Structure 1
Amino acid sequence: MNYQIRIQKILAQLEATGEVTIKGLAQTLGTAEITIRRDLNQLAADGMLSRTHGGAIKVNQPELPHRFQNKAAVNQVAKDHICRRAAADIQDGDIIFLDCGSTVFRLCPFIRNKKIKVITNSIPVIYALQDSHVSLNIIGGEFDATRQAIHGKMATQHIASYHATKAFVGVDGITPKGLFANSEKEATITLAMAAQSRHTYLLCDDSKIGKATYYQFADLRLVHTLITNATSDILKPFKKSGIQLISTP
């Protein structure tokens, strides 16, 4: 049984029972205990569970509005692959911006154990990272209940007061012509975060590639790195853009 299938089964059992043991998982999955121990250690490092002597317990996740939960659950496996890769570029001591996108939100479990500072306008990100090693800087402004985020003039002024090593943002669409959003408010936040960061990462699954939506707010030069699950064939039109292209499994 390969790693990804084991992880899915371990997390499913943990969700159902709240607690698992190495011995029990080894018997259920037909895998050596040393392999299960390694899997649990990796999941604990990613913030997906808490290790106990002989097993693991479930990490309590925040209750989010159903509308946001549903959006975050779309293409969840692809988003997790993207965010695991993105987290590998985040080092202790980094100061990072996180926007309110559902893909960026999936980054939270993979950075809970990192000693970093996060500046965000996302309420779900704040809840997901509370009681973690992460230091939070919460952007102020007008609350958007639909997006579970803070927007407005005060929010952009807040962002302009800080400098980050990295920004992780999402979009509603990306084509060789540029970046697209469904909301001018979200586009303004993305532009503000990118302007105050040394390196901007765009995290998006393949459903956003080649998609032009309501509002084109920037050209491709706004971002330095695109991390996506899109195949190399789909990414061909972007190869001359100057963006670093990282394709996950």
Structure 2
Amino acid sequence: MNFQLRKQKILSLLTEKGEVETAELARALGISEITIRRDLNQLSDDGLLYRTHGGAIPVSEPDSPFEFVNKAAANQAAKDKICRKAAAQINDGDIIFMDCGSTVFRLCQFIKNRKIKVITNSLPVIFELQHSAVSLNIIGGEYDAARQAIHGTMATEHIQRYKAGKAFIGVDGLSAQGLFAHSEKEAAIATALATQSSYTYLLCDAGKIGKTSYLNFAGLELVDAIITDGDPAELKYCKKKGVTVMGV
């Protein structure tokens, strides 16, 4: 039985019972306790459960009041691979920026157990992380109902008051000409986050590579690294600009 199947069964039993023990899971799945412990540790790192002494309990959250309509469900498998790689770049104690992009939103599930501070303008990100180990700083400003995010002059001024070690941002398109966005508001937030961060990661699925949209808001130099499921060979122009390309 591979990890994905074991994961489904573990989470199903956890939902059914409310709490599980390592020995109980080993018997139910017919595998060793060593393997179960390794699986539980991985699921805990991904924010899908909480480890206890000898077992695990579920991550309990109320039903979300937000319907995140900004493509959060599109290309989930690719986005999750990207975000698992992104989460590996985050350490306890880090201060990070997260924008309101749909790929960045998927990062939440992988960092819930991290003792970090997140500064964000995304209401769905805030909701996802509110009952976790993460400390939150909510960017203030004008509420954009369509994007469920905070934008505007006050938001960028808020960001300028803080420094973060790492920023995680998304774009609507990426080409040799630079980074593209659908709106000036989102471009302004992404630029502000990257400017106030020591190191900026662009989370970009393959569908956005080579794509241009309404606004070419920055050169490739705005970011330090790109994490993508796309073909690194297509991003040679990024490497020429000194941008690290991290495949998944």
Structure 2 length-normalised TM:
0.89
Structure 2 residue aligned with 1:99: 99
Counting aligned pairs with the same residue, the percent is 64
Measured in 2, the distance between the counterparts of 1:28 and 1:79 equals 31
Alpha carbons of structure 1 residues 27 and 76: separation in structure 2 relative to 1, 3 Å: farther
Structure 1 unaligned blocks of 5 or more: none
TM-score (norm 1): 0.88
3-state DSSP of counterpart to 2:39: helix
Give the corresponding residue for 2:178: 178
**1:200-247 deviations in Å (ceiling 9; x for gaps):** 100121111111111111110000000011123433443323110000
Matched AA of 1:195: T
Count of paired positions: 248
> Which residue is 1:198 aligned to?
198
Shift of 1:186: 0.6
- When the two chains are superposed, the root-mean-square deviation of aligned CA atoms in Å is 2.3
Partner of 2:240, secondary structure, is coil
Give the direction of change, closer, same or farther, for the CA distance of 1:231–1:65 in structure 2 (3 Å limit). Answer: farther
The answer to whether 1:209 aligns with 2:209 is yes
Residue 103 of structure 2 aligns to a residue whose secondary structure is: helix
**Aligned-partner SS, 1:168:** strand
1:116 aligns with 2:122: no
Question: Distance between the aligned counterparts of 1:205 and 1:239, measured in 2?
Answer: 17
Alignment of 1:7 with 2:7, yes or no, is yes
Give the conservation status (yes or no) of the 8 Å contact 2:70–2:147: no
* In the alignment, structure 1 residue 234 sits paired with structure 2 residue 219: no
> How do 1:119-130 and structure 2 match up within 5 A?
119-130=119-130
| Alignment-mate amino acid for residue 181 of structure 1 | A
Residue 40 of structure 1: aligned partner = 40
Paired letter, 1:104: V
Q: Distance in 1 between matches of 2:62 and 2:231?
A: 33
Give the Cα–Cα distance (whole angstroms) in 1 for the partners of residues 62 and 179 of structure 2. Answer: 31
Amino acid at match of 1:73: A
Letter in 2 for 1:168: F
Residues 11 and 81 of structure 1: CA distance in aligned 2, closer, same or farther (over 3 Å): farther
Residues 70 and 102 of structure 2 are in contact (CA less than 8 Å); yes or no, is this contact kept in structure 1? no
Contact preservation (8 Å) 2:238, 2:244: no
Q: 1:140 to 1:66 in 2, by over 3 A?
A: closer
2:28, 2:3 → 1: CA distance?
A: 15
CA contact (8 A) 1:62 1:128 kept: no
1:79 aligns to what?
79
CA contact (8 A) 2:140 2:150 kept: yes
Cα separation, 1, equivalents of 2:91 and 2:74:
28
- SS in structure 1 opposite 2:68? helix
Residues 62 and 127, structure 1, Cα contact 8 Å, conserved in 2: no
Structure 2 residue 56 is the aligned partner of structure 1 residue 56: yes
Q: Could you list the per-position Cα deviations for residues 26-85 of structure 1 after superposition, in whole angstroms to 9, with x for gaps in the alignment?
A: 455443332122101221133211234654333134544675167222121221221111
Provide the rounded CA distance (Å) in 1 between the counterparts of 2:173 and 2:32: 44
Query: Take 1:69 and 1:62, find their aligned partners in 2: how far apart are those partners?
Result: 19
Deviation at 1:154, TM superposition (A): 0.6
* Counterpart in the other structure of 1:133: 133
Q: Look up the match of 1:145.
A: 145
Cα 1:232–1:10 shift into 2, 3 Å: farther
